[in-house]
Amino acid sequence: MTVPTTDLAPDADADRDGLVNLLEFALGSKPGDGGSRGKVRLRRAVSGTFFIQYLRRSAESSISYTPERLANGGAGPWVALAGTTSAPTVAPEPAPPGFEWVEQPLPSGASGFARLKVELVRP
């Protein structure tokens, strides 16, 4: 089977599942399988703190992962979360080869939305 060149681009959606190829590659899903999904989750610790938790490629310098939040019920710009990512105390499932689980805390006491921004880093 020949795949059209346009379906191989990072911003193409080869399997028509709503996730572009770059996201599928970065998050460990399969670009040719519409049922395969990337791994991004929200976790709540016993302390009540929420974390955005995601699977990322452990040795891929051409992709940047930026957890972001939108505060005030969606009335402001998306802002990168302060702080750094770390390995979770308990991973939701084993990471496949070449991937690692990481998480970053969301600000306490704030309502809003969270997302993971994934970008291709060009030299």
Domains and CATH numbers, the chain: 1-35 (no CATH), 39-120 (2.60.40)
Q: Could you give the count of Cα atoms lying within 13 Å of 23 in the half-sphere of its Cβ?
A: 19
CB 84 within 8 A of CB 37: no
Please tell me what DSSP assigns to residue 66: E
Which ranges of 9-86 does DSSP label H, i.e. alpha helix? 21-27
The pLDDT value recorded for residue 94 is 93
Backbone angles phi, psi at 32, to 5 degrees: -95, 5
Place of tokens 């060149």: 5
Summarize pLDDT for 112-122 with one digit per residue, the tens.
Answer: 889 999 999 98
pLDDT for the residue 5: 63
CA–CA distance from 27 to each of 74, 102, 116 (Å)? 25, 12, 10
Q: Considering only 38-42, 70-74, 100-104, which range has the smallest mean pLDDT?
A: 70-74
Q: How high does pLDDT run on average in the chain? A: 85
Q: What is the pLDDT of residues 9-49, one digit of tens each?
A: 788 887 778 788 888 889 888 777 777 777 889 999 888 88
CB-based contact 9:22 (threshold 8 Å): no
What values do phi and psi take at 67, rounded to 5?
-70, 135
52, 103 in Cβ contact below 8 A? yes
